[in-house]
Chain A
Amino acid sequence: MTVIERREVALVDLLDRLLAGGVVITGDLTLRIADVDLVRIDLNALISSVNANVPAPWGGSE
């Protein structure tokens, strides 16, 4: 196994880091939106796309 060059990065792994990690800078000068929002947005965006494309696994029909 090689230590470097593993390209195919899954979006969820990326978002774990880009939306939950990284230095958070707040203040008047930045337009960065609040933490809580980002985490929720991450989930909302993903869920709505999951719902649009794939039947949710827990959505059993009667």
Chain B
Amino acid sequence: MTGLRYVYAVCRPFDAPLQSQITGVGGAPPRLLRHHDLIAVVSEVPERDFAEQPLRAHLEDLDWLTETAHAHQNVIDALTVVTTPLPLRLGTVFHDDSGVRVMLEAREEGFLRTLDRLSGRVEWGVKVYAEPEAEEQPREPAKVTSGRDYLRQRRRSRQAHEEMWEKADRFARRLHETLSECAEDTRLHAPQNSALSGAPGRNVLNAAYLVPRRNSEEFVELVDRTKNEEPGLRVELTGPWAAYSFSGEEPGDRESDGMSGENS
């Protein structure tokens, strides 16, 4: 029985050895498949899990998805130590090595261009949350004695709510502008649904920034400085990531959508 080929990333050939202990998706160690001046990082995965139908089914299984996403990310992390990888989307599977080679051949020029553009850059993720505590609560749990009281109270809380959104929105826009000046490229991801992320507050900015490695410290400090700027707003930084959000061939024109944000 032959396995399928799971491809993690494409990169330029590199000299440093990959960390020896890493295992890829499904437990097999990743290996390098060279084609001209490109390398595909692949590992063998069993057909029973990665053929189209089982893969589809697995992707609906959160435990499987979690494990697979982390395994994918571990390989990308290990690559990031030795080179600038161009990560592929989760679940990119080929029938065999020659399928991978044909793909490399077909997309060679585009890959080389993108790798040049990303070389020495990393991605930082910045999220802003409006925290529920910031919503002004009436001090005393005001007794509702009449319908009119009730309506008045409702209106007050709605106004406070709207002001908070405007404030959050202004803050997020300003932060995005500031950070964009320090970044070579940016992407706005759809806001994360708080029910899914488990993070408190409502996610009002979910952005990715492409930053040269050497400017990363500066970028992180810039984010840090904003952290306590506005009460009720929380800023979260993630990274450094491989440039997942910037792996498209055309810089600057792709924004992910499709997932709507909150559905409360």
| A interface residues, Cβ below 8 angstroms from B | 1, 3-4, 6, 9-25, 27, 29-33, 36-39, 41-50, 54, 56-58
Contact = CB atoms under 8 A, between A and B. Distances in A.
Given A1-B224, A22-B244, A23-B86, A29 B103 contact: yes
Interface string B1-44: 00010010010000000000000000000000000000000000
Contacts of A23: 10, 86-89, 92, 114, 247-248
Nearest to A20: B256
Interface string B50-72: 11100110011110011001101
A44 B69 contact: no
B195 A56 contact: yes
B231 interface: no
B259 A39 contact: yes
Interface in B94-123: 94-95, 99, 102-103, 106-107, 114, 123
A57 B264 contact: yes
A30 B94 contact: yes
A45 B103 contact: no
Contact of B196 (A9, A17, A20, A50): A50
Contacts of B187: 21
B258 A22 contact: no
Given A29-B95, A56-B195, A15 B89 contact: no
**Size bracket of the B interface:** 35 or more
Contacts of A36: 258
Interface of B: 4, 7, 10, 50-52, 55-56, 59-62, 65-66, 69-70, 72-73, 86-95, 99, 102-103, 106-107, 114, 123, 125, 187, 189-190, 192, 194-199, 206, 208, 216-217, 220-221, 224, 238-241, 244-248, 256, 258-259, 263-264
A18 B89 contact: yes
8 contacts: A1-B220, A10-B197, A21-B187, A23-B87, A29-B99, A31-B50, A32-B89, A49-B62
B259 A42 contact: yes
A50 to B, nearest CB: 5
A46 B125 CA distance: 21
Contacts of B245: 16-17, 20-21
B103 A27 contact: yes
